[in-house]
Amino acid sequence: MSKVQLLEWGEKSIELDSVKDKLRSLKDKSSQLKMAYEMPGCYRTSNQIDRLMNYQDRILDDMQYFHGTIEAARLQMRAHALLWNFHPYGRRKLDGGSDFRSPFEALNGFSFNINWLHNLLLAGSLNGYRTVSPPCYKSG
């Protein structure tokens, strides 16, 4: 069924104006939506992103969103992303035969330690790879 046929069917068959408006909007956006099909191997929906964003939105809502500076908000979101990447998968995922215990392990194919917090600390440390001078603190 083409977009024109869908719109014609909707105009004849659907009584709610709000649904008809959505169909018209879909027709207007069709050129943007079909760009996804020109990218081989790409996902057609944003399900994987939506799940993470919904979780993140629930967390932020529970925290009553941001307080303070933009820098504080940025650091808060970085901390949230770090915790998410290293959190252990739930029991259903593990019992389902998953070879990996966390998103970090799934992405990298290994883990440093069986404990997720040890993995976070080890991955976050530079372990001598690069030398970073400690910040200079002024007293007083």
**pLDDT tens-digit readout, 3-56:** 678 888 888 888 889 988 988 888 888 888 777 777 777 776 777 778 878 888
**Same-domain status, 92 and 28:** no
Same domain, 105 and 60: yes
The answer to whether residues 119 and 104 touch, using CB atoms and an 8 Å cutoff, is: yes
| Number of separate domains in the chain | 2
Domain range enclosing 31:
3-38
| Distance in angstroms (rounded) separating the CA atoms of residues 37 and 113 | 41
Q: What is the pTM of this model?
A: 0.50
Amino acid at 88: P
Higher pLDDT, 126 or 38: 38
Q: Indicate the DSSP class of residue 137.
A: -
Same domain, 66 and 110: yes
Q: Do 96 and 62 have their domain in common?
A: yes
User: Has residue 130 been placed in a domain?
Assistant: no
Same domain, 68 and 85: yes
- If asked whether residues 118 and 74 sit together in one domain, one would say yes
Per residue in 44-90, pLDDT tens?
677 777 887 888 888 888 888 888 888 888 888 888 888 888 888 87
Asked whether residue 139 is domain-assigned, the answer is: no
124, exposed or middle or buried, with CB in 10 Å at 0-12, 13-18, 19+? exposed
Q: Are residues 108 and 88 in the same domain?
A: yes
Q: Are 102 and 88 in contact (CB under 8 A)?
A: yes
Classify residue 96 by its DSSP letter: T
61 and 33 within one domain: no
Check whether residue 51 and residue 120 sit in a common domain.
yes
